[in-house]
């Protein structure tokens, strides 16, 4: 499998297209390993989806009280698995950040065991950070929705006033423009707020900071990242949906041709059990293919922020041309590219000193 040298890594500010392109190229290079990293939480989510589908279908058809109680417990357990699987996925993405950043800066091998060793070493901190990030995303959604609501109210009053004198087509056109403007406002506000906590797991695992220090550090790094974060999110969303369609369309064609089943989502209540379960399995499994791109994209975006704001491209050049910097016991506000790994992460012999002091 081809590998890249740290010396070949050009740390330059990345635009949205460059960010996606580099993430996809790294994804292709480490496809098998990245899918192994992403698989365990997705499998948990898939099991939860299957149990949820079975439970909900039985809930609407059973009339036995004792069986109904068991079905409610099954649905609750399935809900716990689905939510837990998504949280576990976020935790694993955070754990992968150290290994991926180390690979980007010093060509350290990308290994599943390295990622899960990082997850085990700081599991509770990652869980706390994930909960904080999810809560912050909820606040960001509320702020975005409020901004969109204000825009729609403004356009509504304007259109009511103009509707007395303007033709109907003008009112319809104005309503469409208002909806577009409201959507743009919502997206910009949401990603502006969400971008503030985009680097919390990377800071925690890469720089060795605590949860609240990582939040503060992420706020300081997140400057002008709205468009790049938005582009990465939309790319992952549409790519994941495309992967889902690639998996679902053959299943739908088979069901339609051989069993006369209408595969459209609006007829889910009429799907037989085998098709509903198959669909519920394929939906989370499609994320195995694209979740690694998100891991890589966020790690690249984190490194890019440090290049833009802290001049890590200059440090890269210095580390290539100059001898290693002596290890002095002096507190400095300028942290290294990556914190020294704790002993519990040393699961393999240390490599020779690499770019930016990584080993």
| Residues making up the chain, counted from first to last | 359
Mean pLDDT to the nearest integer, 52-72: 82
Q: Mean pLDDT: which of 21-30, 45-54, 55-64, 135-144 is highest?
A: 135-144
Give CA angle at 158 (154, 163), nearest 5°.
Answer: 145
List the chain domain ranges: 12-313
Q: What is the DSSP-derived secondary structure letter of residue 278?
A: H
Residue 24 has pLDDT above 70, yes or no: yes
Tally of CB atoms within 10 A around 248? 17
* pLDDT tens-digit map of 78-92: 999 988 888 888 888
The CA dihedral of 293, 297, 299, 303, to the nearest 10 degrees, is 150
Residue 346 has pLDDT above 70, yes or no: no
Helix boundaries (H) for the chain: 16-29, 31-59, 65-106, 112-121, 123-162, 168-194, 200-207, 211-221, 226-259, 273-310, 312-321
Q: How confident is the model at residue 225 (pLDDT cuts 50, 70, 90)?
A: confident
Burial of 197 (0-12, 13-18, 19+ CB in 10 A): buried
Residue found under tokens 């080993």: 359
Higher pLDDT, residue 265 or 100: 100
The whole-number pLDDT of residue 312 equals: 63
The whole-number pLDDT of residue 319 equals: 55
Query: What gap in Å lies between CA 96 and CA 103, rounded to an integer?
Result: 11
Structure tokens belonging to residue 224:
């002008």
Residue 73 has pLDDT above 80, yes or no: yes
Higher pLDDT, residue 21 or 349: 21
CB 89 within 8 A of CB 324: no
The whole-number pLDDT of residue 313 equals: 59
Higher pLDDT, residue 112 or 264: 112
Q: What's the longest Cα–Cα distance across the chain?
A: 78
* pLDDT tens-digit map of 249-290: 888 888 888 878 877 777 777 788 788 888 888 877 777 777
CB 225 within 8 A of CB 301: yes
* pLDDT tens-digit map of 288-337: 777 788 888 888 888 888 777 776 656 556 555 555 555 555 444 445 55
**Cα–Cα distances in angstroms (integers) from residue 40 to residues 33, 112, 118, 184, 211, in the given order:** 12, 11, 15, 36, 24
* pLDDT tens-digit map of 34-43: 888 888 888 8
CB 308 within 8 A of CB 228: no
Rounded to an integer, what is the distance from CA 346 to the centroid of its chain? 27
Structure tokens belonging to residue 126:
């990652």
Burial of 189 (0-12, 13-18, 19+ CB in 10 A): buried
* pLDDT tens-digit map of 138-181: 999 999 999 999 999 998 888 888 777 777 777 888 888 989 99
């Amino acid at each position: 499998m081809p590998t890249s040298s740290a010396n070949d890594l050009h740390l330059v500010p990345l635009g949205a297209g460059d960010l996606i392109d580099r993430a996809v190229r790294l994804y292709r290079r480490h496809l098998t390993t990245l899918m192994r990293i992403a698989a365990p939480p997705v499998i948990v989510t898939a099991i939860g989806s299957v149990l949820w589908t079975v439970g909900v279908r039985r809930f609407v058809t059973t009339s036995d009280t004792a069986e109904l109680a068991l079905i409610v417990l099954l649905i609750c357990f399935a809900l716990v698995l689905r939510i837990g699987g998504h949280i576990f996925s976020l935790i694993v993405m955070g754990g992968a950040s150290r290994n991926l950043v180390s690979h980007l800066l010093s060509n350290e091998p990308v290994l599943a065991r390295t990622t899960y060793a990082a997850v085990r070493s700081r599991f509770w901190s990652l869980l706390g950070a994930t909960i904080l990030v999810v809560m912050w995303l909820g606040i960001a959604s509320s702020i975005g929705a409020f901004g969109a609501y204000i825009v729609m109210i403004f356009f509504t009053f304007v259109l009511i006033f103009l509707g007395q004198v303007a033709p109907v087509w003008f009112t319809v056109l104005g309503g469409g423009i208002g909806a577009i403007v409201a959507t743009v406002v919502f997206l910009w506000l949401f990603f502006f707020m969400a971008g503030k906590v985009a680097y919390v797991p990377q800071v925690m695992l890469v720089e060795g900071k605590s949860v609240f220090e990582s939040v503060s550090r992420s706020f300081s790094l997140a400057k002008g990242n709205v468009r790049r974060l938005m582009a990465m999110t939309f790319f992952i969303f549409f790519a994941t949906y495309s992967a889902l369609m690639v998996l679902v369309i053959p299943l739908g064609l088979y069901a339609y041709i051989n069993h006369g089943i209408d595969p459209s989502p609006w007829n889910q209540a009429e799907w037989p059990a085998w098709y509903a379960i198959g669909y519920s399995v394929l939906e989370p499994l499609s994320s195995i293919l694209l979740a690694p791109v998100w891991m890589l994209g966020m790690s690249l975006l984190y490194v890019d922020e440090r290049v833009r704001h802290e001049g890590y491209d200059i440090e890269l050049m210095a580390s290539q041309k100059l001898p290693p910097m002596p290890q002095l016991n002096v507190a400095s506000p300028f942290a290294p590219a990556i914190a020294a790994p704790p002993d519990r992460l040393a699961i393999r012999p240390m490599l020779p000193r690499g770019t930016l002091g990584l080993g």
